[in-house]
Structure 1
């Protein structure tokens, strides 16, 4: 490092004082960066032709003033000053002289992002996957270019760019965009943004008119603003720019993103492309076609570019930032012949051309067909990432409204009900180290504070592997649920419209969050679990059996025990959560309700008063029996408006909704589980008993509101079954994932009291809040109480009357797998010989008195109440 130090021997100050003052000033003003190594005392003395002792004394002063630090065997390094001092010279803040005045800082897009390095899952839009960069081929071409033409590095090239690259680009654009252009029409750029800025500089003057899409790309809008143009917004819809709105508009330039509109992702229809060309010719305007992601299309054939339809009045701008990487800073523009001299001159005045080496390597890369093969690999990979994103959104947020799926590296997600508005959602996700982006932070500009700005996020999928996408979206869903678990007033942010443009304050409400009694003794001890995916039981005679089967016809209300159930492949648990109570005034279609996040419904985690009601629903007659606080039961016909209204009144009173009542809605062919996919839930009773032992408290297993309760496993063994198939009765189920518990588990189903704080207790003990697993029905079949549960491929024999009784088995009771009739040896069947009360003593030809099923289809009957866990 050579420091710009100037010593004047005619001044009264000593050379030491002059040197110290200039070094001090340089460090404080940032001319010498913190951490920079200062020249050795010998080298600086030689540079300034002074005594080495003079430099040593100056350096010692800087060390004493803590502006520098000496590192043994390394040297002297500048330190950051405690309080930077800005003077009126270099390093001072630029003066502001009003709008458009000298020194005014124009607006510019920020595509770097201050949070990217701290994010675990980052859905930043437009970022390609670095692992897909063709490193070997690129290195080979770089070496070849250096070996054969290194002399090009030491001289100026054509400001328009390296001819070989321009020729290769013309061939590529002709094949992929139907653009017939001469290489002399092509300019190589330092990214597409330079092209936008060149267009603003060459074509616009103060008072000119520029049309842009709304919403649009910040880079184009800010470039036009900086040129002094008047920017006019034109709306877009599902077919891109609404060209009908241009009928009576005159403008100098119109900026469009026809291949994949940013940020909505809409493709400009062919009819509108033709209409845009007609409009531009009529008004002698220029169409600025921004086509940075035109090479990334996943469905259908690409439409001809606007430059192919109107080459005389269209400037086509593209970039390699999305297909190779933004760090290369390589873009291009194709200009009409009449504009070539003006743009060549502007490019020469701006930077005299783009770096030669990267241009030469890219030209060779395209000429030998490697770029086309690279694009094919990109499309296949990014299509998988896009599908993973869409699948994950549907899995965790239900029926989602997503735009821009046919191409590009991002989709626009219009947020569903039950999710906070964009500003709140973006901030909440970032706190959980997840990067999602509203229009502004994604690099988009919106002319108005529109509902799209307030209720949309841009999700990029290019830079993230499909597995990370699935995990990140799952975590994003949990972020909303976790916030609701911890701050119950957060439900207000999910239901009420926010003030336009105002930040959302999390959890702020006039209604205080209910206090929880934290009665659990927590210890950070992880349970020991088997390392393999196979069962590992201490007692080989113990058998995993179904000890309880439950359904919950109305979300948040009573569990209804079943003796057995018929499962269908790919379908949810029959008649489970088919009804729900929506919160007052939420945007749910009562005639055809869809799945939505749980914040839109009454639920135990917030309205524990619902547990005061004991309910039972006869699905055949649709009559519900309701008993509140032990009072006389009421029977409500839910197939009549009067019956539903009475139910809404009762449950609204229990939930404390006030004068505005909830609405009882029924799903048409679906369910209102906390997840939109067709999952069934399972709880391992041994795990519940392990928690009771650890925490020194009793836990009713029905807190966890599962469909199946299994006994006979080791504690936490169910986690090791994730990803495996299990055989349960006649059905084969896939153990899909672990079940994250919510605040509904805090409510005692027997008393209706919020007497526990289960999710935080699980986190404190194990580092997660998972308990139980979700299952998917792979093949259908009957499942009855007492059926064995085993991993597919390691199937254990089913229980029979000769099988030793497993845990929780109630002596002397057997269940029919045909109709779920219970034979109780203490209450012998009417057609059994009176002298033979034991089931084993019944004759072999004995059949079920209800359905005629033969004796061999009966299984020992186990009830959850008999396991001792309830």
Structure 2
């Protein structure tokens, strides 16, 4: 027997035309001919997938030479494979593997191996108990991905990198690529990094103390190999970076976790255990974003020197400081006891896989020795290019350009989060590429929100998914989101956060039982919020409103006598009936007076009765869920705060809401009215704002012409109060309100900026007269128009009074695009035409005009192609003019 592998390049699956590596074992003493053996073994290799479809087999001459057989033997073998349909013989090109056909093998592929003594004590690999997974194969499916710490692709200096690489290739490429380099790294790169750290971070070091590594993770592994044996005490922050704690655990360390707060690691809690290493991220703590205060830096250094501990300083994203001056790194304050870990993964990109260690002189030789054992140094080409990038000053120019971009992205993210989630609790906004968001009441736990968002093609990440580890199981682990923003454009950030907000609202609309997941009963604040700059508090939804459409005088507007204000309404208590008013005086930048100034918080929700904050609607009593509210009509006297409720024109309740007795009486009244609440709700009053569904000071406007157009298309009346707007105007063209976004309009004496369109949720499906869900407005809008917007939000620009009948003045605009034909708005019923609607995103699956596959025949694992919702989230969708029959099919109405 002789084993003769073919010396040919390896063929990876999918690489067409590459020569396949074939291992053939010939038994020259057996009964089978050599041709049969060659055929059988190549056939088995193709059928097993070891020889990829499309790969090129060795030529007959070459295979014969390697196997030391006659060429005709190989020729006959190839002809047999060709007859079986396994290979294609192309003259002057070669022999190529075709897709194998299912057929029994003519002979065994390999002779049976005789094992005289079975193996009984096979060694097992030593696998680390936990390994961090940073690559997400499904992330490419996400429409908006807020993964933390990922730099923007568009900012990578491609042209400069290409130029420097071409220069390297034409220069010392041959020697650099054919010789082993110094395990510590290219000397030019070490010198460039040492100079950069001195000028940029204030760390005075010698190039001989710099060790080039494959990213921060390898640097942490080197530190672990230097000092950790089984049982060695190591101190880490809590929560902290997974890669650090997992590397220390894999080396056998006894990990001691020290909590962090708004000033970083709590040094008063450092243990006196003789730890060899203490891992910290002082510049921008991961994941909380806290900055270690100067006093605590000094305390940490004193503790380390007293304990004989080396501080491992992970300086992963401190290149990006947005507010104020950065504090000095610990390596600059105590170079004798600090192992400084740096990386280019955040500044350039993790695909580069280059970082560095700056070690004390006593550790330099040992660190290089460990690096040599790991991989004997990094590749020459990337090191050479990076050295030139840093040395030439191009790297600093890139950092300054990226800092401006990331600051704008951060500001956009803060503004959008506040617009859609209220007074959000954010930490770590002053630096880095992420911030820590503690989810407010009314939003589900982090893991639930992450799973919901992923189905809707949104990437938001809990601590564990973001690469953080909380060994103390704090509330932050359950309610914290590590929110990255650097990799996305500002408009993408705005759209993604708006979709996330709608996702929470839509989930509640479609699944009232989801309410239980919103009732948070644990304290939320582990890391107090660091307040961003005041300029981030309020911004218009449009990033660039057209200046030519703003107005400063009446003659800048097109005023039509028929364009008038038909109705003005406020809703003094959120969730209860509308109260018409004849006129209202508005202040610039302020909300509609006495609109949603009160709200009824559900029993046991975490809302302070005496100092309530804005929260998502799920925490409050509302008509969409508590339909009994429709049984009464309510009004509030804004001067006396006397509240009245009536039923069938007869007053059934009255209370003075200025006093506790009146408030408690209203709570008991609502408890009796809505017995499903169980206990009495809590009446809360906004001190400065309101409890509208959107936290910013916006006013809702509905164009009655649009409603009439929808009534005509849908063939049924629409109660305008279904949309719970403040202003109802007439005289515009249908849908013209969308053309006004970004413009200034005048109602009466007041001037308003049309800020954005109003995306409708399931609350509009509820009949305000009965409390019943009798329409599907968001689904109908989305089915035909591709959106679910109806009406617009206004922001008061100039104070003034608006009275019913006042004229409406708008800029002179061109014709409004006619909307597509509207879909039917009917209660959910069986579908007559094979159409099914997704409750997650209102995608319509059409059996007839679309895929041609009956919905019932789709596999149970089928997902919505738009948002990723499961098949069970779909329900039948009924077009206009049909109603269900008793048999479950549908018939035409007479």
Compute the TM-score of the two structures, normalised by the length of structure 1: 0.81
Give the deviation of 1:21 after TM superposition. Answer: 5.2
Match of 1:331 among 355, 365, 376: 355
1:557-584 deviations in whole A, cap 9, x for unaligned? Answer: 1211122221211111111110111111
Which residue of structure 1 lines up, in the alignment, with residue 277 of structure 2?
A: 253
- Structure 1 residue 138 corresponds to structure 2 residue 161: yes
1:222 pairs with 246, 255, 258, which one? 246
Quote the residue 1:76 is aligned against: 97
Q: Do the aligned partners of residues 441 and 247 (structure 1) sit closer, same or farther apart at CA in structure 2, a change above 3 Å counting?
A: closer
Is contact 1:733–1:776 with CA below 8 Å preserved after alignment? yes
Matches within 5 A, 1:328-727: 328-495=352-519, 543-727=562-746
Q: Is the 8 A contact 2:57 2:94 kept in 1?
A: no
Aligned equivalents of 2:674, 2:705: Cα separation in 1: 33
Decide whether aligned partners of structure 1 residues 154 and 785 sit closer, same or farther in structure 2, where only a CA change above 3 A counts. Answer: same
**Matched-pair contact (CA < 8 Å) for 1:189–1:195:** yes
Over 3 Å counting, the alpha-carbon distance change for 1:266 and 1:69 in structure 2 is farther
Which SS does the other structure have where 2:680 is aligned? coil
Secondary structure of the structure 2 residue equivalent to 1:634? strand
Give the counterpart of 2:342 among 305, 308, 318. 318
Deviation at 1:550, TM superposition (A): 0.9
Q: 1:222 to 1:775 in 2, by over 3 A?
A: same
Q: Do the aligned partners of 1:692 and 1:698 also contact (CA within 8 Å) in 2?
A: yes
Question: Counterpart in 1 of 2:74?
Answer: 51
Inter-CA distance 659–482: structure 2 relative to 1 (3 Å threshold): closer
Q: Deviations over 1:77-113 (max 9, x none)?
A: 668999xxxx999xxxxx9999x96343542211111
Count how many residue pairs are aligned between Structure 1 and Structure 2.
745
Matches within 5 A, 1:845-864: none
> How has the CA–CA distance of structure 1 residues 420 and 708 changed in structure 2, closer, same or farther, with 3 Å as cutoff?
same
SS at match of 2:212: strand
**Structure 1 match to 2:191:** 167
SS of the counterpart of 2:335? coil
Aligned match of 1:762: 781
Deviations along 1:698-733, one digit per CA (max 9) or x if unpaired, are 111111110111111222221122122222222221
Provide the C-alpha distance between the structure 1 equivalents of 2:184 and 2:738, rounded to a whole number of angstroms. Answer: 61
Residues 1:630 and 1:754: Cα distance change in structure 2 (over 3 Å): farther
The answer for the alignment partner of 1:190 in structure 2 is: 214
Number of the residue aligned with 1:729: 748
CA–CA separation in structure 2 for the residues paired with 1:643 and 1:555: 17
Report how far residue 543 of structure 1 moved.
3.2
CA separation in 2, counterparts of 1:163 and 1:27?
Answer: 49
Q: Distance in 2 between the 1:177 and 1:604 partners?
A: 57
Shift of 1:247: 4.7
User: Do the aligned partners of 1:725 and 1:791 also contact (CA within 8 Å) in 2?
Assistant: yes
User: CA-to-partner distance for each residue in 1:108-165, whole Å, 9 max, x for gaps?
Assistant: 2111113211000000111000101111111121122222211312211111111111
Q: Please name the residue that 1:116 is paired with.
A: 139
Q: Partner of 2:336: helix, strand, or coil?
A: coil
Structure 1 residue 397, shift from structure 2 partner:
0.3
CA contact (8 A) 2:549 2:811 kept: no
Deviation of 1:272 after TM superposition, in Å, equals: 1.5
SS at 1:625's partner residue? strand
Secondary structure in 2 matching 1:611: helix
User: Following superposition of structure 1 onto structure 2, how do residues 146-295 of structure 1 map, counting pairs within 5 Å?
Assistant: 146-151=169-174, 152-295=176-319
Contact 1:45 1:55 in 2 (8 A): no
Name the SS for the 2:195 alignment partner.
helix
Q: Distance in 2 between matches of 1:492 and 1:423?
A: 15
Cα distance in structure 1, aligned partners of 2:377 and 2:476: 40
Extract unaligned runs of 5+ from structure 2.
1-18, 104-109, 114-118, 525-547, 551-557, 815-894
- Superposed CA deviations along residues 542-567 of structure 1, whole A, max 9, x for unmatched, are 73221111111111112111222212
Q: What is the alpha-carbon distance in structure 1 between the residues aligned to residue 45 and residue 680 of structure 2?
A: 70
CA distance in 2, matches of 1:318, 1:69: 55
Residue of structure 2 equivalent to 1:513: none
Contact 1:683 1:706 (C-alpha < 8 Å) held by counterparts: yes
SS in structure 1 at match of 2:745: strand
Distance 2:241 2:98 in 1: 43
Partner of 2:863: none
Q: 1:329 & 1:497 partners in 2: Cα distance?
A: 43
- 8 Å contact kept, 1:602–1:655: no
Regions of 4+ moved over 6 Å: 78-82, 95-98, 539-542
User: Do 1:69 and 1:77's aligned partners in 2 also have CA atoms closer than 8 Å?
Assistant: no
Q: How has the CA–CA distance of structure 1 residues 715 and 385 changed in structure 2, closer, same or farther, with 3 Å as cutoff? A: same
Could you say if the C-alpha distance between residues 641 and 180 of structure 1 is closer, same or farther in structure 2, counting changes exceeding 3 Å? same
Q: Between 454-463 and 294-303, report the one with greater CA deviation.
A: 294-303
Work out the CA distance in 2 between the residues paired with 1:132 and 1:21: 55
Contact 1:127 1:409 in 2 (8 A): yes
Distance in structure 1 (CA, Å) of the matches to 2:120 and 2:424 = 46
Deviations 1:461-497 (A, max 9, x none): 1101111001100000000011111111111111156
Q: What do residues 361-400 of structure 1 show as CA deviations (whole Å, max 9, x unaligned)?
A: 1111111211111111111110000111111111100011
Once residues 461 and 89 of structure 2 are traced to their aligned partners in structure 1, the CA distance between those partners, rounded to angstroms, is: 42
CA drift of 1:322 comes to 0.3
C-alpha deviation, 1:19, in angstroms: 4.1
**TM-score, normalising length: structure 2:** 0.79
1:5 and 2:23 matched: yes
Equivalence for 1:128: 151
Seen in structure 2, the aligned counterparts of structure 1 residues 11 and 733 have a Cα distance that, compared at 3 Å, is: farther
Counterpart Cα distance in 2 of 1:45 and 1:647:
93
Q: Which moved more, 1:216-225 or 1:141-150?
A: 141-150
Deviations along 1:201-251, whole A, 9 cap, x unmatched?
222122212211111111111111221222221111111111111252321
Sort the Cα spacing of 1:232 and 1:727 in 2 relative to 1 into closer, same or farther, 3 A.
same
Q: In 1, are the aligned partners of 2:86 and 2:101 still within 8 Å (CA)?
A: no
The 5-angstrom pairing of residues 780-819 of structure 1 reads 780-792=799-811
Q: Structure 1 CA distance, aligned partners of 2:162 and 2:578? A: 64
Q: 1:31 to 1:220 in 2, by over 3 A?
A: farther
**1:543 partner SS:** strand
- Tell me by how many angstroms 1:359 deviates: 1.1
C-alpha distance in 1 between matches for 2:400 and 2:95: 51
| Conserved 8 A contact 1:27-1:81 | no
Q: How many angstroms apart in 1 are the aligned matches of 2:402 and 2:101?
A: 44
How far apart, in 2, do the equivalents of 1:478 and 1:105 lie?
Answer: 41
Superposition CA RMSD, Å? 3.2
SS at match of 2:407: helix
Structure 1: tracts of 5 or more residues without a match = 90-94, 501-531, 796-870
Q: 1:792 to 1:176 in 2, by over 3 A?
A: same
SS at match of 2:24: coil
CA contact (8 A) 1:210 1:229 kept: yes
- Aligned 8 A contact 2:43 2:81 in 1: no
